[in-house]
Structure 1
Amino acid sequence: MKTLFKNISALKWLAAYLLGFIFISFYSCDNSPSNQTNSAYLGGEIVNPTSEYIVLQKNGKILDSIRLDDRNRFSYRIDSVQQGIYSFGHRPEIQHFYISPGDSLLIRANTLAFDESLHFSGTGEAENNFITEMFLLDEANADLLLSFYKTSPSEFLKQTDSIKRNRLEHLERLKVKKKFSPEFVTLAEKIINYESYDLKERYIYLISKYYTEYQQKLPDNFYEYRKNVVFNDTSLQETAAYKRFIENYLTNKSLELCKRTHKDHEECFDRANTKNILNRIKMVGDLIKIPSLKNHFLLKLGAKGIVLARSREDIKVILEALRKNGFPEDQVKDMEQLGTIQLAYLPGTEIKDVPLINTKEEFVPFLNIVDKPTIIFLWSIYKDGHQEDHKLIQELRRKYPEINFVGINLDIDETTAWKIAVQKYNYNKDFEYQLGQTQINKRFFQYYLNKLLFLDDAGKVVIGDAFINSPEFESRILEFLNR
């Protein structure tokens, strides 16, 4: 058996090597000195693609869309390449990569396990495989934190310092073996530092909420790392570790502010609270000066504030805060579309004129699907977890036959793909519909993929703030039935 695994591993390595060799050889025909100096080549393969394109980005701006060929491969020359972090998106995934002038980098990924299958080869492969390895380790630490946040601050620091030290030592070994450039080593050290800072921010939040006695045991120098934070580091603005640290830092600073001004500390931990979101929006406006990074956080916070808004007034103040803190006006208009969707989730709203399509591709009036108390759940073929969601809904259908559980697919204009998914996963066609054409851009519906609508038999919203992945989901159903 061990021999078999070794042979398979060798074959996979050989396939990746040959593919990289073909790719690099293909482009070696262009021997223009200027191209070799100022350009870089990017190519590869997407296994089980979910769209026909790869989207290339730098510093939050789309540089180009790259079409996959009939073998799901792509190739592209980046002219006047800037050394540093770029990103490529393949719906719904996005991944970062490091590239320098003269590199010929090959990427291979399988959408069924995108991060885990991601592999780089060619010039620049060592740097990118190192970044990917660090990213996966950091993701694993998110789970690890749940096990050791209950430890004392001294023990926590011992473990996190050990993680950081091991990664820096690993980098030190590789920089000699793989001949990393000084610029890449500096970037990698920064990423490792911010991953460590982020662990501390998450620990602060968890002990503040669940183990307040540990707050009194924090050493005097625990927060010293915050003095080293640079909120506008252009070399890091594309990296996940940097963005995640800033997000958790904003959460903790908002929590500290709330505790100073609010008697009910429990409410301070409500990240969906409009006042808390407004505090974070203001901090982004004050702290972040890089336009793309600033817009990233304003978009994220603005969308959260609107999707969780409990009134028209909440929506209005979120939009005003975005404008006041420099969110571009065209993107504020986008948020207004999101606000239009949210209005339909406010209790008391009557849902009528929503276009639906059944699996026979017939248009169905919305009120035709509401002949008794109804719970609407939204899903997309591109969102991981829709099979688990449907399994849960099927169990609830058996448990609560007095309620209609209706699935509405949000992949507008992709009726064939939706019908194939319904058939493939054996979803109940009697309760499956697709949203028809609307004046709202379909990309805004992605924010509602976990949100539920509880309607009475007249189509009026009773509950609009429940989520399918919430542990309170079933208690909300009982609340709905006993109203």
Structure 2
Amino acid sequence: MVKYFIPLILIVFIGCKESNTPKSTYFGGKIINPKCNFVTLSDSYNFNDTIPLEKNNTFLGHYDNLKEGLYVFEHGPEHQYVYIQPSDSILIRLNTWDFDESLVFSGNNAERNNLLIESFLQYEQDEKNIAKYFHLPQNKFVHKIDSLQNIKKEIFNRYKENNDDASEKFLSILDIALQYPLYTNLEKYAIKNATQDEPEVLADSYYDYRKKAHIDKDSLMFFGAYYRFVIEKIYNDVYQKNCLNKSDNFTVDLFHSIDKNIASEEIKNKMLYNAVISHFFKEPNHKKKDETFFTFFKLNTNNKQKKAVQRIINDLKLLNTGEKLPSFNLIASDGEFVDVQNISKGKNTVILFKNYKYASDDWVSSRFNFLVKNNPDVNFILVNLCDSSKRYTKNVDIKYQYTLPKGSSTCNYSSSKFSRLVLVDKGGIIRNGYTSLSALNINQEINNLQKNK
């Protein structure tokens, strides 16, 4: 009987109000294996609603003045998109164990949303296939993309022919969902080509797709297909410019390009913040990082993001290269207090300071275990930072892991909360006071640590 609960409610509400204007809009459904007790619906701009789950894990939201457009709904850590028009009655059913693949829409105007989710799932498959084509010469790669574009055009045209009343707004969203991922890969290919020792000269017609693709729709920045194209286009423009001008600070040029191309202050700040964090942790010892930080502070207006970056700068002032590793206590898995100097004495050592709230166990364990496997003669220490529950990192051998005594000043070594690697030689001298698991050359740098006498 439970599965009929929401449809019956919709019949009662909608049936009784057919004569009223404006008609209410409904968004509801059922969550299998829920991760929390609510669903949110928003346009990531002006509208945001939290809809509670009932005891049978169903939910229903109704709205009198909902505007037509693309919305994002979230449950737990996952999200997807739904296109809604006034008077729609849209239901979803999904299992959180297989969020995207299990998602099905039903109700009034469900077809267009099922088409969107099918486009998303096909995008994931296309990405795997296209990745195999990046080694191809330009003409063959473009031919592959053209073939996929023709398939997408056929899907678009078939929907348009079968739905005479389809709104222009939705057709625009559908076009983005189908075509922009292919445009994104054309941008990626151009970046890859530009970074080759002997890049191929791109044909004059290569960028013809840009005449149909725009990056001035800030209200759609929450839509993955759109956002990915915008950011890749901006990156590509900077790569092409740098190839001509031989700029020695790509990140600064990227900041200025973001500032120039993105009108929304909120989105611009987010992009600048993501860029400064990503680029810093890929190259934490870049010789131009001071100029990078200065430009970020100049262009970003979000105080919270600025403070987060300032904490990274503060962390850089601690555990400096060339200094002796200071003494501080750790708690081993057996509960015993041990001095880090005793654990690292006479050994080339890598110390990872990790806060579980800011770095997932899956990501940390995959990178940490990779480095351990590739550097068997190096001593590894994983310090689980500043958590009263003494939480350890999953999927990492407990022999590498330590926690901290209550109130330990060692927490200050990563006040930014981001994971931090410190490389120490067997003489106890810090050879790199701040690097990261995602640094481009980290495996080679750890390997070189063993060459220090």
Q: The TM-score by the shorter chain falls in which range?
A: 0.7 to 0.9
1:285 to 247, 250, 259: 259
Give the whole-Å Cα distance in 2 for the aligned partners of 1:302 and 1:45.
37
The AA in structure 2 aligned to 1:321 is T
Give the whole-Å Cα distance in 1 for the aligned partners of 2:95 and 2:318.
37
Q: In the superposition, relative to structure 1, how do residues 428 and 159 fare at CA in structure 2: closer, same or farther (>3 Å)?
A: closer
2:380 to 398, 405, 426: 405
Deviation at 1:245, TM superposition (A): 1.4
Does 2:172 align with 1:197? no
Give the whole-Å Cα distance in 2 for the aligned partners of 1:53 and 1:65.
7
Does 2:80 align with 1:95? yes
Q: In the superposition, relative to structure 1, how do residues 95 and 361 fare at CA in structure 2: closer, same or farther (>3 Å)?
A: farther
Query: Is the CA contact (8 Å cut-off) linking 1:59 and 1:292 kept in structure 2?
Result: no
Give the whole-Å Cα distance in 2 for the aligned partners of 1:323 and 1:470.
23
1:173 to 158, 165, 176: 158
Query: Is the CA contact (8 Å cut-off) linking 1:376 and 1:406 kept in structure 2?
Result: yes
Deviation at 1:408, TM superposition (A): 4.1
Give the whole-Å Cα distance in 2 for the aligned partners of 1:351 and 1:35.
72
The AA in structure 2 aligned to 1:476 is E
The AA in structure 2 aligned to 1:328 is N
What are the residue-to-residue correspondences of 1:57-136 with 2, within 5 Å?
Answer: 57-59=42-44, 63-64=48-49, 75-77=60-62, 80-90=65-75, 92-109=77-94, 113-136=98-121
Query: Is the CA contact (8 Å cut-off) linking 2:324 and 2:429 kept in structure 1?
Result: yes
The AA in structure 1 aligned to 2:178 is I
What are the superposed Cα offsets for residues 2-43 of structure 1, whole Å, 9 maximum, x if unpaired?
A: xxxxxxxxxxxxx9xx74x43343455555858973543244
Give the whole-Å Cα distance in 2 for the aligned partners of 1:42 and 1:443.
42
Deviation at 1:326, TM superposition (A): 4.5
The AA in structure 2 aligned to 1:222 is Y
What are the superposed Cα offsets for residues 393-443 of structure 1, whole Å, 9 maximum, x if unpaired?
A: 66457x32xx33233456956x48x45x74xx5x43332245778989x99
What are the superposed Cα offsets for residues 126-177 of structure 1, whole Å, 9 maximum, x if unpaired?
A: 3233222222333333333332233333332222122112112112223455
Deviation at 1:61, TM superposition (A): 7.0
Query: Is the CA contact (8 Å cut-off) linking 1:145 and 1:203 kept in structure 2?
Result: no
Unaligned runs of 5+ in 1: 1-14, 263-267
The AA in structure 2 aligned to 1:281 is F
Query: Is the CA contact (8 Å cut-off) linking 1:86 and 1:238 kept in structure 2?
Result: no
Q: In the superposition, relative to structure 1, how do residues 294 and 363 fare at CA in structure 2: closer, same or farther (>3 Å)?
A: farther
The AA in structure 2 aligned to 1:208 is A
Does 2:199 align with 1:207? no
What are the residue-to-residue correspondences of 1:418-429 with 2, within 5 Å?
Answer: 418=391, 422=394, 425=395, 427-429=396-398
Give the whole-Å Cα distance in 1 for the aligned partners of 2:349 and 2:197.
40
TM-score with structure 2 length normalisation? 0.77
Query: Is the CA contact (8 Å cut-off) linking 1:60 and 1:293 kept in structure 2?
Result: no
Query: Is the CA contact (8 Å cut-off) linking 1:85 and 1:235 kept in structure 2?
Result: no
The AA in structure 1 aligned to 2:350 is I
Give the whole-Å Cα distance in 2 for the aligned partners of 1:25 and 1:443.
53
1:183 to 169, 173, 186: 169
Query: Is the CA contact (8 Å cut-off) linking 1:92 and 1:382 kept in structure 2?
Result: no
The AA in structure 1 aligned to 2:8 is S
Query: Is the CA contact (8 Å cut-off) linking 1:375 and 1:454 kept in structure 2?
Result: yes
Does 2:276 align with 1:302? yes
Query: Is the CA contact (8 Å cut-off) linking 2:28 and 2:58 kept in structure 1?
Result: no
What are the superposed Cα offsets for residues 333-383 of structure 1, whole Å, 9 maximum, x if unpaired?
A: 233234444555863477769897665789887667645433234485845
What are the residue-to-residue correspondences of 1:297-446 with 2, within 5 Å?
Answer: 297-308=271-282, 310=284, 316-341=290-315, 347-348=321-322, 370-371=344-345, 372-377=347-352, 378=354, 380=356, 382=360, 384-385=362-363, 388-389=366-367, 391-392=369-370, 395=373, 399-400=376-377, 403-409=378-384, 412=387, 415=389, 418=391, 422=394, 425=395, 427-433=396-402, 445=417
Q: In the superposition, relative to structure 1, how do residues 249 and 133 fare at CA in structure 2: closer, same or farther (>3 Å)?
A: same
| 2:206 match | 222
Q: In the superposition, relative to structure 1, how do residues 479 and 123 fare at CA in structure 2: closer, same or farther (>3 Å)?
A: farther
Secondary structure at the aligned position of 2:214 is classed as: coil
Deviation at 1:220, TM superposition (A): 1.9
Deviation at 1:71, TM superposition (A): 6.7
Identity level (%): 22
Query: Is the CA contact (8 Å cut-off) linking 1:319 and 1:332 kept in structure 2?
Result: no
Give the whole-Å Cα distance in 1 for the aligned partners of 2:52 and 2:360.
19
Which has the higher Rg, Structure 1 or Structure 2? 2
Query: Is the CA contact (8 Å cut-off) linking 1:44 and 1:107 kept in structure 2?
Result: yes
The AA in structure 2 aligned to 1:143 is K
Secondary structure at the aligned position of 2:82 is classed as: strand
Give the whole-Å Cα distance in 2 for the aligned partners of 1:469 and 1:234.
30
| 2:5 match | 22
The AA in structure 2 aligned to 1:135 is F
Give the whole-Å Cα distance in 2 for the aligned partners of 1:159 and 1:443.
48
Deviation at 1:285, TM superposition (A): 0.8
Q: In the superposition, relative to structure 1, how do residues 133 and 196 fare at CA in structure 2: closer, same or farther (>3 Å)?
A: same
What are the superposed Cα offsets for residues 202-249 of structure 1, whole Å, 9 maximum, x if unpaired?
A: 11112223384532xx33222233344422214532221221112211
Give the whole-Å Cα distance in 1 for the aligned partners of 2:284 and 2:440.
20
Query: Is the CA contact (8 Å cut-off) linking 1:393 and 1:405 kept in structure 2?
Result: no
Pick the structure with more helix per residue. 1
The AA in structure 2 aligned to 1:165 is N
Query: Is the CA contact (8 Å cut-off) linking 1:96 and 1:238 kept in structure 2?
Result: no
Deviation at 1:301, TM superposition (A): 1.1
| 1:254 match | 238
Q: In the superposition, relative to structure 1, how do residues 327 and 114 fare at CA in structure 2: closer, same or farther (>3 Å)?
A: farther
| 1:478 match | 447
Secondary structure at the aligned position of 1:214 is classed as: coil
Secondary structure at the aligned position of 1:210 is classed as: coil
Give the whole-Å Cα distance in 2 for the aligned partners of 1:105 and 1:385.
36
The AA in structure 2 aligned to 1:254 is V
Q: In the superposition, relative to structure 1, how do residues 340 and 407 fare at CA in structure 2: closer, same or farther (>3 Å)?
A: same
Give the whole-Å Cα distance in 1 for the aligned partners of 2:57 and 2:132.
41
Secondary structure at the aligned position of 2:200 is classed as: helix
Deviation at 1:332, TM superposition (A): 1.8
Deviation at 1:106, TM superposition (A): 4.0
